[in-house]
Amino acid sequence: MPRASDDAEAALTGRMARVQVDLDQVATEALRPAALLVGVIFVVFAIQNWVSYPPDARAVVVPYNVGLVVIGFTLYGVCRRITLSTRGIHLAATGLAFAVLGQIMVTTLYGLNPLFTFFVAILLITSGSSVLASGWAAMIVAVVVATWAVVASRVLPGELLALHSLVMFTSTGVAAVIHVGRRRSRARIVELRAGDARRELALQRAFAEAVELRTGDARRELALQHALAEADEARRELDRKVEERTAALRAELAERERLEAQLRHAQKLEAVGRLAGGIAHDFNNLLTVLRLSYMTISDAGASAEELADARRDASDATDRAASLTHDLLAFARKQTLQRASVAVVDVLGAVERMARRVAEATIRVEVQIAPDVGDVIADRHQIEQVLLNLAINACDAMDNRGTLTITADAIELGVPEAERRRLRPGAYVRIAVTDTGTGMDAATRRSLFEPFFTTKEVGRGTGQGLAIARAIVVDRHGGSLSFDSAADRGTTFVIRIPIDGPRPRPATA
């Protein structure tokens, strides 16, 4: 019970402090009559010295007596009004003793005090025994004896000096005996008061413990019942919150999946809308070729070579129209993940055709494919969606002026590089989409992969769609999507797709 022990110790300390205050008050009250006696005695001495002393001695001694009268009555008045501290009592007693000693020595030097040794002995016994601190008492005795010795050696002959020294030695011993007795009495008083305080505290503590024992069982029973009720209520509240949170998480997950599917489809339709302009122009050209070919075939005067060229042009135009229709429908329809071995060259070829239809004439489109790029296990349409989305963003970033570069090569990721990118080591196809546009500032780079984040103004589509792009590449194909960009320095997005298909991703901290 450290708290109870600390409280008891504090209470005992407080009571002993009050004992010390009481002792200081007793000492102050003992000092008060001594100060009054000094004042009264030296009033008499001042009158007697004025009458009996010669003028030269009277001019010095009488003012000194008057000063002692002032000191005595002043100290008496102070002691009546306040209780001095222990240090204040020692200072006052020492000052009073030294002042009286000074008066005795002055009259002795004038040869007017033949009994000075006896006066000093009385002063020694009085002051040395009244000061309870041994250090202060020893200091007073030492100063008094030393002062007496200096003066006595000047005014006393040898035989009287030895006799007076015996008196001083005896008075010093008496002062020491009285001082020790008073100190022991004071210590005994403190000890008795401390014992009373300890016994009183022990009695109070025993009474409190008895009361505590009588009421402890009832309190513990009530506390146990209260704790059981709170635990039961907390368990029910926890069950309710768990059920509510589980239902909310299920609803949130379902809503997120629904919104993600809608967003992905909306991005596809946005891309289809961007493609519509270019495809309409291509269809118009193809229809023109078909019309001219039909007119040539219908012309009765056409030669066999012209007819063959017309049929060939019509067939080529029909194939190109079918290819355009296939690309558009394959990209726009909703679909589930369908992995298969896909030639990277075919994917980039389709993306290049669609990118050229989307890009303005002022944008230069370059596609560079390494000869060893090979195939990947992936969903072709989703990879095309990601690449076309990056291409459209690049065109917007360049404000329809600049160069769009798409490169592809095969790489091998070692263990350190793979761990840094949170991939498994092995062979990957790396596809980079680079533009010469405005680049991105720090705020845009921080928010780039947040869902629904966009830098486009209202009415210009669903946004950059990079959250969906990263989900397709990272979560569904086991690859990675990174970027490098700075303001006014363009942007490069890099996709890494494993050549032999995705595997379960390792757990990361």
Please state the domain extents for the chain. Answer: 2-188, 337-509
Q: Does the 337-509 domain belong in CATH 3.30.565.10?
A: yes
Residue 322's CB is within 10 A of a number of other CB atoms, namely 10
Chain centroid offset of residue 323 CA: 64
Tokens standing for residue 362: 């002022």
Q: Output the CA torsion 267→272→273→275 (10° steps).
A: 130
Asked whether 503 and 487 are in contact (CB, 8 A), the reply is no
- pLDDT of 225 over the 80 cut: yes
Band (pLDDT 50/70/90 cuts) for residue 432 is very high
Alpha carbons 277 and 436: distance in angstroms, whole number: 24
Secondary structure of 273-296 in HEC code, one letter for each residue: HHHHHHHHHHHHHHHHHHHHHHHH
What are the tens digits of pLDDT across the range 233-284?
888 898 888 888 888 888 888 888 888 777 767 766 665 565 555 556 556 6
Q: 497 - beta bridge partners?
A: 429
Band (pLDDT 50/70/90 cuts) for residue 135 is confident
Asked whether 276 and 327 are in contact (CB, 8 A), the reply is no
Given strand 480-485, what is the order of strands in its sheet?
Answer: 363-369, 402-413, 426-435, 491-498, 480-485
Range with the poorest average pLDDT among 15-24, 36-45, 184-193, 352-361: 15-24
Alpha carbons 298 and 295: distance in angstroms, whole number: 5
Band (pLDDT 50/70/90 cuts) for residue 136 is confident
Band (pLDDT 50/70/90 cuts) for residue 506 is very low
The mean pLDDT value for 337-344 works out to: 83
Higher pLDDT, 332 or 450: 450
- Mean pLDDT over the full length of the chain: 77
What are the tens digits of pLDDT across the range 362-379?
888 899 999 888 899 888
Asked whether 406 and 358 are in contact (CB, 8 A), the reply is no
Residues 6 or more apart from 259 whose CB is under 8 A from it? 451
Burial of 288 (0-12, 13-18, 19+ CB in 10 A): exposed
Higher pLDDT, 330 or 89: 89
Range with the poorest average pLDDT among 129-138, 174-183, 241-250, 264-273: 264-273
Strands 375-378 and 402-413 come out as: unpaired
Range with the poorest average pLDDT among 98-107, 275-284, 295-304, 316-325: 275-284
- pLDDT of 18 over the 90 cut: no
The mean pLDDT value for 450-460 works out to: 59
Which backbone phi and psi does 327 adopt, to 5 degrees? -60, -45
- Predicted confidence at residue 168, as pLDDT, reads 80
Band (pLDDT 50/70/90 cuts) for residue 169 is confident
Pick the most confident of 67-71, 114-118, 266-270, 424-428.
424-428
- pLDDT of 459 over the 50 cut: no
Judged by DSSP in three states, 434 sits in strand
Please report, rounded to a whole number, the percentage of residues in the chain having pLDDT higher than 70.
Answer: 80
The mean pLDDT value for 152-173 works out to: 82
Diameter of the chain measured on Cα atoms = 177
Alpha carbons 499 and 378: distance in angstroms, whole number: 9
Alpha carbons 424 and 56: distance in angstroms, whole number: 117
Range with the poorest average pLDDT among 135-139, 200-204, 391-395, 451-455: 451-455
Q: 496 - beta bridge partners?
A: 430, 480
Higher pLDDT, 131 or 430: 430
The mean pLDDT value for 436-441 works out to: 85
Q: Which of 152, 111, 148, 108 has the alpha carbon at shortest distance from 127?
A: 148
- pLDDT of 337 over the 80 cut: no
- pLDDT of 492 over the 90 cut: yes
The mean pLDDT value for 159-180 works out to: 80
Q: Which of 374, 415, 395, 405 has the alpha carbon at shortest distance from 492?
A: 405
Q: Which of 495, 500, 501 has the alpha carbon at shortest distance from 409?
A: 495
